[in-house]
Chain A
Amino acid sequence: MNELEKLRRDPVSRRAFLARAAAAGIGAAALALIEGCGSSDSINQTSIKDPNFRQADGTYIVGRNINEVVLNYVLTLKTMEADLYRQAVNRAAGVSSYRDNSLIIDPSKFQIGSKISTAGLDNPAAAFHYLVQFAYAELTHRDYLRLMLVALNAPLANGNQRGYTFPASGANALNDPGPDLKTILTNVLKVEETGVRGLLGALPFMKTSLGMQDVAAINSTEARHAAALSYSIGLPAGPAPGRSGSLDQLVTGSTPYPHPNTFEYYLVPNTVMTAIDSAYYVKA
């Protein structure tokens, strides 16, 4: 057994190693190193099957306990969001192969595509700037969750292996994040609002504090993203009912909110899984 394999098998040593690597700024590289060695069956990967986290294809979000399931549920959403943002930014920058190209390393190099209309936006430069910034933030959320789960020796959710796509809507073609910047932002906002609601709906399932603050911190940023995108396209900050469909739940139960924007809304995980599978998952 080599040293890397020993490291992968020992959760205490692995966690310490990753923490040191992260502090040195090479967390993602360290994660890749550990993930690439050893065999998956050398680690106990038995997952519970929580009925509240059932995916549309009948499988369950992985995790050995409910907290890990929630973290993997969040990872599932983040993996999807990160990819959709990638497509949206590439599209807004006029990249022809926007669905295939990775994000370039330097976000400051992105500019609004010369043929991308910015009609209907008061400040397209700021809006595009938000889109780029948030795309990289979503990537780091995804990587942060993966880092955490690996350090916990937890199984990792793989997301939809066929990829993700924007749905057709009105004049917007299937797969296209949008033919103009305002449409792109509108479509990305819907993804963000679904994410905000999804994470809020998952929080109560966590039985211990492990990872709870992280989920809340991620969701706080998601809410900020939603507010910025809303501002950019001329909408109020929210929360506002119905922005990700018609199934919003109230945190006050059956008691209506005093005003529609008093509290955030939530969606239960199964509702989210069904919705994103239908709207954003590439099918066979």
Chain B
Amino acid sequence: MQIIERDIETHTHEITEQNHLREVVEPTLIHELDKGSEPPTEQRNDENVRADTFAVQTASAAALIGMAGVVLALPQAARAISPALTFSASIPGKGDVQVLNYALVLEELEAALYVQVLLRLSDLGITSGQIVQILQEFSVVEADHATFLRTTLNSVVAQNASLGPVVGTFTYNFGLTTSVTDARSALELILMVEATGVRAYLGAIPLLSAQSPYLQVAAAIQETEARHTTTLTIARNVNFSTGSDVAPLYTERTPVYDAPYDTLHPNQGTKGLDVYLHPDTVLAAVSPFIVGQSS
């Protein structure tokens, strides 16, 4: 695990918000983190100790959900992987396992983004208590999704290795020290990633096996992401006067429901229906944030 020294010093004043996150982190995760964390070696006041522990816990929470390579401040030279990930070439596994691996890649990326933004609240100028609370709550949920998927995949592949392997973990650079440097851009980035997740799950449905045992839980995750997307859109509207629609609108254009799913049909997104995206489209959208594979 990595102790983020810089953040210990710079985020001590964010104790109120970060303690809240600490309190809602899965108790078992906290227990594991405490076992592995290094104790402070110098005399610190209570606030610094809490910040230190929080930074460790957050980074280690990331590690425990399979993002061992989460780094908060990458060198400027870190570049996105190239070529971009594609479903067939980059996502391992067979059948439903491959689809779950695809979902896991997205969930871990989302979870990592939330973690990184929450550790940079001050740097990003995120001062709205409402936004902080939303980010904290959703961060926990995204971590849950990633944990669930990795645990499920580990179990399935353990029982039948020919379906695997389980996808490894990635390292990310969300540009939080370069291009994403204020509250609005951070919120926009999170919103984009959540919205992409909504569409990604819908686009993956046809890839699942007939009567897949994972269809319902995938839809249950997807609907949570849809709730997040709308709430974040409202938060952006409220805080930055953006006036965006919070759900797909009705229009007079009728979707051609027999269009192949793997194209962003021009009529999709109308008639009040959420859009679905082909996995390759999704992976192309998120690959810019992926700078390497750590396992």
Contacts and interface: CB of A to CB of B under 8 A. Distances in A.
Interface of A: 15, 19, 22-23, 25, 27-28, 123, 126, 130, 133-134, 136-141, 143-144, 147-148, 196, 200, 203-204, 206-209, 212-214, 216-228, 231, 236-239, 251-252, 257-259, 261-266
13 contacts: A23-B254, A23-B256, A23-B267, A123-B238, A126-B234, A136-B250, A209-B206, A216-B202, A216-B219, A219-B223, A224-B227, A227-B230, A252-B217
Given A133-B245, A137-B248, A200-B219, A147 B254 contact: yes
Interface residues of chain B: helix, strand, loop or mixed (majority): helix
A22 B250 CA distance: 14
Interface stretch (B11-19, B47-55, B269-277): B269-277
A140 B238 CA distance: 28
B250 A227 contact: no
B205 to A, nearest CB: 5
Contact of B271 (A141, A239, A261): A141
Contacts of A224: 226-227, 229-230, 246-248, 274
Contacts of B254: 22-23, 25, 27-28, 144, 147
B273 to A, nearest CB: 4
B248 A221 contact: yes
Interface of B: 24, 26, 134, 137, 140-141, 144-145, 147-148, 198, 201-202, 205-206, 210-211, 215-217, 219-224, 226-231, 234, 237-238, 245-258, 261, 267, 271-276
Nearest to B222: A220
B217 A263 contact: yes
A138 B250 CA distance: 8
B274 A221 contact: yes
Contacts of A265: 220
Given A200-B220, A212-B215, A225-B230, 16 more contacts: A133-B247, A144-B257, A209-B206, A213-B206, A220-B222, A223-B224, A224-B226, A224-B227, A224-B229, A224-B246, A224-B274, A227-B230, A228-B234, A239-B227, A263-B217, A263-B221
| Chain A CB within 10 Å, residue with most, of B201, B222, B273 | B273
Chain A at the B interface: mostly helix, strand, loop or mixed?
helix
Contacts of A222: 223
B145 A223 contact: no
A69 to B, nearest CB: 15
Nearest to A27: B254
